[in-house]
């Protein structure tokens, strides 16, 4: 029956949860906040009870959503009979921690979500009544979480014998666990024993068993990934098949896999009358325990969980855990049990997120340890404050519009230097088409240190004149006349889409380099012809995708190149525009009235080709992977001249990643965009606000936190585009946006329209291959 107190507590909690939920926090965040507050409160209650100060460090926490990260940890200075240790290394038990991380059955990490087994370090503080240990002693500590600071009973702290490294000593708890297999198996001189499972606990059991005089006849595993560790540990054979297991006939079989069906393999590997020790914790129900076989072969099954040592202690009256721990360290010190090769790679605790994610799929890892010495000293251990505010923000889940501010100097560390640096040459541009976008492009060229506008043409002469005037440029009577000018090095096509190909062709035939305002053309076949023509003429053809050079994009690209995403897994693009009726006859400015934007024959399409082509290019640019297939729908019918107002497309990429494009140009009341890419190790969003979420530590970013890019330099990305284009054509280097890039974006748009018209999936790859 629920007590009044419990009811009141539940009601109070529901009140808090309701208020926080209304404040916009996700359920996952609530659980993490709860954990943080519990830990925060516990440490302070302990500190007050002990009348002691707090120490502040870092620890690894697993959140409710399955992420791992480094969090602030306060620990009280130790109470009576306890010690506080600044850890150098904490050992990872891959099998168990993988199971715990994956929340498999029969696993628990506790309310505080603090994984870990044991560690080694130096005592920084001792409580009253601790007589056999002193501050400064190197100790191994059993039963403590992965953290830079740990508090433990002095009975769980073992002075480290000389000659043992921190990572070796940190295995003390696993050594105690593994020794359970040896003790319960009654392994002694001459005992023929086998171990099922090649993980860390199994490897330790093998080595301890051999040190006790047993004969390690075999290790049985599912694959050969851990064979070398098994053989290095003294196993006489390594078996991967069930038939092979049946031939082992060991007196004792230690089952260490944790696989609920692993006991069946152990039973096969045992000789009649043998003893099977359950050392691994089975993660689920064994569907069919073969009791008949157990009886027929006179086998005995023994549970050997480490907690059963407490039963033993109550029987013997001595601390059996301590006895086992001391014995293990003694064996290691005497080199009767070698563990240096089992300590595995040193993991930077700041990389806990990607490490645990990797652990879920990488079964080759026998051992690993967190190296806490990699953290700056002031993060590992410093004086804590009772009044420190709990850090409850942005714990692993989408913080929406509240990313953390970046650490000072992030942009500098990310090498966002002067984007105009290194400009070479001086390229003279002619502009064909002097409407809306021409003003942006001519302005950008004017700002570029190595480019200038020298000629303009538009059928509406006043537009050409107004554009040319600020640059002191000439106005020509025709496109051909502009392209024929010997002082024109390159031409920028700023005309309606259906004129891109014909105008660019005039320029190419005149031997001019060409920049086409996006898109390349208004249809697929003319785009292919244009790219071929440029290649044939030996001129540079580029498409104006200046968003690649926005400061945030530059930072994002830098981070992605450094491995932010890990394996690219997905991208999402959405663009919502509420275009007014005036737009369709005059564009955004009304500078050049025309209805070409609402004609499919002229524009080639609607919001996809007109606006989303930028985003498609950005996704390709950032991910470095091409779109392979598209399935799409639009609101436009296949016949007729109408363009689409709405488009939704599902993408698959060449590496298996998936993506989505959602666009609308008549989304009433909204103007907004989203552009995000994510992968196995991180997430980057450019819109609506640039921010990044790394699982690992890189370039000063904080793992497991959404964070913005901070104050980035302000400059014209379009001008950077023209500067870099000019440098490239001057030096003969490839331009940033090649004709093939333009064609690839065009292929995505073409495939989208074909899919929407046919109702079928369309291969972008096939389109591009046919074009080559």
- Binding residues vs other proteins (CB under 8 A): 105-106, 260, 263, 278, 281-292, 294-296, 298-305, 307-308, 311
Nearer to other proteins among residue 186 and residue 558 (C-beta): 186
**Minimum separation from the CB atom of position 257 to other proteins (A):** 12
Nearer to other proteins among residue 296 and residue 362 (C-beta): 296
Nearer to other proteins among residue 107 and residue 165 (C-beta): 107
DSSP letter assigned to residue 666: B
**Minimum separation from the CB atom of position 54 to other proteins (A):** 35
Note the maximum CA span of the chain: 106
Q: Measure the CA–CA gap between 376 and 757, rounded to whole angstroms.
A: 59
Nearer to other proteins among residue 303 and residue 593 (C-beta): 303
**Minimum separation from the CB atom of position 172 to other proteins (A):** 21
Which H or E run includes 663?
strand 658-664
> Distance between the two ends of the chain, CA-based, in angstroms?
76
- The secondary structure of 569-634 as a DSSP string is EEEEEEEE-B--TTHHHHTTT-SS---GGG-HHHHSSSHIIIIIHHHHHHHHHHH---EEEEEEEE
Residue 530 is encoded by which pair of tokens? 């244009």
Contacts of 665 (CB under 8 A, 6+ apart): 577, 578, 579, 606, 607, 610, 611, 645, 646
CB 461 within 8 A of CB 764: no
Burial of 241 (0-12, 13-18, 19+ CB in 10 A): exposed
Nearer to other proteins among residue 290 and residue 710 (C-beta): 290
E strands, 426-467, in order: 427-432, 451-457
**Minimum separation from the CB atom of position 284 to other proteins (A):** 8
**Minimum separation from the CB atom of position 253 to other proteins (A):** 14
Nearer to other proteins among residue 29 and residue 173 (C-beta): 173
Residue 45 is encoded by which pair of tokens? 């209650």
Which H or E run includes 557?
helix 551-561
Residue 721 is encoded by which pair of tokens? 């585009």
**Minimum separation from the CB atom of position 283 to other proteins (A):** 7
Q: Measure the CA–CA gap between 346 and 769, rounded to whole angstroms.
A: 46
Nearer to other proteins among residue 299 and residue 454 (C-beta): 299
Q: Measure the CA–CA gap between 362 and 94, rounded to whole angstroms.
A: 10
DSSP letter assigned to residue 488: -
**Minimum separation from the CB atom of position 185 to other proteins (A):** 12
Nearer to other proteins among residue 136 and residue 272 (C-beta): 272
**Minimum separation from the CB atom of position 108 to other proteins (A):** 11
**Minimum separation from the CB atom of position 667 to other proteins (A):** 54
Question: Alpha helices of 138-261 — where are they, by DSSP H?
Answer: 166-169, 172-184, 200-211, 227-232, 242-246
Nearer to other proteins among residue 283 and residue 322 (C-beta): 283
Residue 109 is encoded by which pair of tokens? 């990490």
**Minimum separation from the CB atom of position 177 to other proteins (A):** 12
Nearer to other proteins among residue 9 and residue 106 (C-beta): 106
């Amino acid at each position: 029956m629920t007590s009044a107190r419990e009811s009141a507590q539940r009601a109070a909690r529901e009140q808090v949860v309701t208020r926080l939920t209304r404040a916009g926090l996700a359920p996952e965040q609530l659980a993490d906040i709860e954990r943080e507050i519990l830990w925060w409160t516990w440490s302070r209650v302990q500190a007050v009870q002990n009348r002691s100060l707090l120490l502040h460090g870092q620890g690894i926490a697993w959140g409710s959503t399955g992420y791992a990260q480094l969090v602030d940890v306060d620990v009280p200075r130790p109470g009576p009979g306890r010690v506080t240790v600044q850890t150098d290394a904490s050992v990872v038990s891959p099998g168990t921690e993988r199971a715990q991380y994956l929340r498999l059955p029969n696993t628990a990490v506790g309310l505080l979500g603090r994984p870990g087994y044991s560690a080694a370090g130096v005592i920084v503080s001792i409580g009253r009544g601790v007589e056999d240990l002193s501050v400064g002693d190197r100790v191994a500590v059993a039963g403590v979480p992965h953290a830079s600071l740990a508090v433990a009973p002095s009975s769980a702290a073992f002075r480290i014998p000389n000659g043992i490294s921190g990572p070796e000593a940190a295995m003390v708890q696993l050594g105690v666990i593994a020794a359970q297999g040896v003790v319960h198996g009654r392994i002694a001189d001459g005992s023929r024993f086998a171990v099922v499972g090649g993980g860390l606990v199994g490897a330790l059991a093998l080595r301890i068993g051999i040190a006790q005089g047993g004969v390690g006849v075999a290790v049985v595993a599912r694959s050969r990934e851990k064979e070398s560790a098994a053989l290095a540990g003294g196993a006489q054979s390594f078996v991967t098949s069930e038939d092979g297991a049946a031939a082992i006939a060991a007196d004792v079989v230690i089952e260490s896999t944790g696989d609920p069906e692993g006991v069946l393999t152990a039973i096969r590997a045992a000789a009649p009358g043998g003893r099977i020790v359950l050392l691994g914790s089975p993660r689920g129900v064994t569907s069919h325990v073969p009791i008949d076989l157990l009886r027929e072969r006179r086998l005995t099954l023994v549970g050997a969980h480490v907690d059963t040592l407490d039963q033993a202690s109550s029987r013997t009256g001595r601390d059996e855990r301590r006895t086992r721990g001391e014995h293990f360290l003694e064996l290691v010190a005497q080199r009767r049990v070698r563990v240096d090769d089992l300590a595995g790679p040193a993991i930077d605790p700041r990389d806990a997120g990607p490490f645990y994610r990797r652990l879920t799929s990488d079964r080759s890892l026998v051992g690993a340890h967190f190296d806490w010495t990699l953290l700056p000293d002031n993060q590992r251990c410093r004086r804590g404050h009772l009044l420190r505010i709990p850090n409850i923000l942005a714990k692993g889940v989408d913080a929406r519009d509240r990313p953390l501010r970046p650490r000072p100097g992030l942009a500098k560390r990310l090498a966002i230097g002067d984007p105009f640096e290194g400009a070479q040459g001086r390229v003279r541009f002619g502009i064909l088409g002097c409407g809306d976008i021409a003003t942006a492009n001519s302005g950008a060229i004017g700002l570029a240190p190595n480019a200038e506008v020298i000629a303009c043409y538009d059928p509406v002469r006043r537009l050409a004149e107004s554009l040319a005037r600020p640059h002191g440029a000439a106005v020509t009577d025709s496109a051909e006349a502009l392209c024929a000018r010997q002082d024109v090095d390159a031409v920028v096509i700023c005309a309606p889409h259906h004129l891109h190909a014909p105008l660019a062709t005039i320029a190419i035939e005149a031997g001019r380099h060409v920049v086409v305002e996006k898109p390349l053309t208004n249809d697929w076949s003319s785009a292919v012809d244009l790219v071929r023509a440029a290649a044939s003429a030996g001129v540079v053809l580029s498409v104006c995708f200046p968003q690649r050079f926005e400061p945030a994009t530059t930072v994002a690209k830098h981070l992605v190149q450094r491995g932010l995403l890990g394996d690219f897994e997905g991208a999402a693009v959405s663009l919502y525009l509420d275009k007014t009726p005036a737009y369709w006859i005059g564009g955004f400015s009304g500078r050049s009235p025309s209805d070409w934007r609402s004609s499919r024959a002229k524009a080639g399409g609607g919001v996809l080709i007109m606006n989303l082509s930028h985003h498609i290019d950005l996704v390709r640019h950032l991910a470095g992977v091409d779109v392979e297939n598209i399935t799409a729908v639009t609101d436009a019918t296949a016949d007729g001249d109408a363009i689409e107002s709405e488009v939704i497309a599902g993408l698959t990429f060449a590496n298996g990643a998936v993506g989505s494009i959602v666009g609308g140009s008549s989304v009433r009341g909204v103007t907004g965009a989203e552009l995000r890419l994510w992968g196995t190790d991180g997430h980057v969003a450019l819109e609506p606000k640039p921010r990044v979420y790394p699982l690992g530590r890189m370039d000063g970013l904080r793992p497991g936190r959404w964070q913005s890019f901070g104050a980035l330099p302000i400059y014209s990305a379009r001008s950077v585009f023209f500067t870099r284009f000019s440098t490239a054509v001057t030096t003969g280097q490839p331009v940033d946006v090649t004709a093939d890039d333009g064609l690839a974006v065009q292929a995505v748009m073409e495939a989208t329209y074909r899919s929407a018209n046919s109702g079928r999936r369309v291969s972008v790859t096939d389109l591009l291959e046919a074009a080559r």
